[in-house]
């Protein structure tokens, strides 16, 4: 067993957030947010990513390390650190514009308890193929989780992205996607239909998050469960899904993949609380274990 129980693969970048004319920079990138969230919940984690040797790259590294997560040394490159410009709408949701060079995760071993990837890193090549190969190598040796976190402007044609997602889901034990992901991948399909479609690809558990309306999931026993959202004053929604995913990962490392409805419902309810804490404050700022317990 590696000293790190969780290995997260994917992008780390800087979110440039515009709100009512103000501009603030936050460390972001879905996989990086997940790694930080997992570490804050007390689970050892490493992040394999791509960072530039620049001020933004150093800031990302400091943020990730301060959470308790490690950065795989081979993640450093000579190209600039990626950015995502987020314009916050009046309802707190975000519209994104990305400046990314693509992610090529470094070589790593799969001797860990759980491997996770998703978002830009999964869909942009050549990094996407690297991530897929990692998931397939880990299948059966570790728990595998996937969050597509679709960025339509970056993933190419829907049919191509759907094929990539299907291959990732086939290697996964648990897939978490948002209702927006589901609507983009399968237009007009109802949530339960999407759960069944994804489950047929191979994962033992599938969860769809629905923002303030909570989440719906399908466990290994085929039962469908729902959990409500947690009512909070929303600062912005950046990182909400990543906090939900990080909480699921921490639960899976501790308890294994949910095999029945009560286990899945518990994991989803805890994750919904984690997401609610994140949306109550600016930027992707996931809770610590103590905050979640409180």
CATH code of the domain containing 12? 3.40.1190.20
The total domain count for the chain is 1
Question: CA 117 to CA 147: how far, in whole Å?
Answer: 7
Q: Measuring CA to CA, which residue among 278, 290, 288, 171 is closest to residue 235?
A: 278
Domain annotation covers residue 140? yes
Residue 71 sits at φ, ψ, to 5 deg, of -110, 130
pLDDT tens digits for 130-143? 889 889 999 999 99
Among residues 244, 231, 49, which one has the least CA distance to residue 131?
49
Which residues in the chain show pLDDT less than 70? 1-4, 102-110
Q: H or E element: which one contains 143?
A: strand 143-147
What per-residue confidence (pLDDT) applies to 194? 98
pLDDT at site 279:
86
Tokens of 54: 């620049």
pTM comes to 0.90
Confirm if 116 and 32 have CB atoms less than 8 A apart. no
Instruction: Please tell me the distance from the alpha carbon of residue 5 to that of residue 56, in angstroms, as a whole number.
Output: 27
Whether 162 is in a domain gets the answer: yes
Could you read off the pLDDT of 194-216 as tens digits, one per residue? 999 999 999 999 999 998 899 99
| CA-to-CA separations, 31 to 28, 152, 172, 246, in angstroms, rounded | 8, 17, 16, 9
The pLDDT, as a whole number, for residue 105 is 58
The answer as to whether 288 is a domain residue is no
Q: Would 294 be classed as within a structural domain?
A: no
Residue 291 resides in a domain: no
Q: Please confirm whether the linkage preceding 259 is cis (ω < 30° from 0).
A: no
Q: Does some domain include residue 20?
A: yes
- For residue 246, tell me if it sits in a domain: yes
Specify if 230 maps to a domain: yes
User: pLDDT at position 1, please?
Assistant: 35
Residue 152 is part of which domain span? 6-282
As a whole number of angstroms, the distance between CA 50 and CA 194 comes to 32
């Amino acid at each position: 067993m590696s000293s790190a129980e969780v290995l997260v693969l994917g992008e780390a970048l800087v979110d440039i957030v515009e709100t009512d004319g103000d501009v603030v920079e936050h460390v972001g990138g879905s996989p990086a947010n997940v790694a930080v969230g997992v570490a804050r919940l007390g689970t050892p984690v490493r992040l394999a990513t791509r960072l530039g040797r620049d001020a933004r790259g150093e800031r990302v590294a400091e943020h990730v390390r301060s959470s308790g997560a490690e950065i795989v040394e081979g993640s450093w490159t000579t190209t600039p650190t990626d950015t995502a410009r987020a314009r916050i709408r009046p309802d707190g949701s975000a519209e994104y514009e990305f400046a990314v060079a693509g992610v090529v995760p470094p070589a790593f071993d799969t001797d860990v308890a759980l491997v996770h990837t998703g978002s830009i890193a999964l869909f942009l090549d050549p990094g996407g193929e690297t991530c897929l190969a990692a998931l397939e190598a880990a299948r059966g040796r570790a728990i595998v989780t996937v969050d597509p976190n679709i960025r339509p402007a970056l993933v190419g044609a829907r049919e191509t992205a759907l094929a990539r997602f299907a291959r990732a889901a086939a290697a996964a034990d648990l897939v978490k996607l948002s209702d927006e992901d589901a609507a983009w991948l399968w237009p007009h399909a109802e949530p339960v239909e999407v759960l069944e479609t994804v489950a047929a690809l191979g994962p033992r558990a599938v969860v769809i998050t629905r923002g303030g309306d909570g989440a719906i999931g399908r466990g290994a026993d085929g039962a469908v469960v729902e959990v409500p959202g947690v009512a909070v004053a929303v600062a912005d929604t950046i990182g909400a899904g990543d906090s939900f995913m990080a909480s699921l990962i921490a639960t899976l490392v501790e308890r294994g993949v949910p095999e029945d409805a009560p286990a899945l419902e518990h994991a989803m309810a805890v994750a919904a609380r984690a997401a609610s804490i994140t949306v109550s404050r600016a930027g992707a700022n996931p809770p610590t274990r103590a905050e979640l317990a409180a």
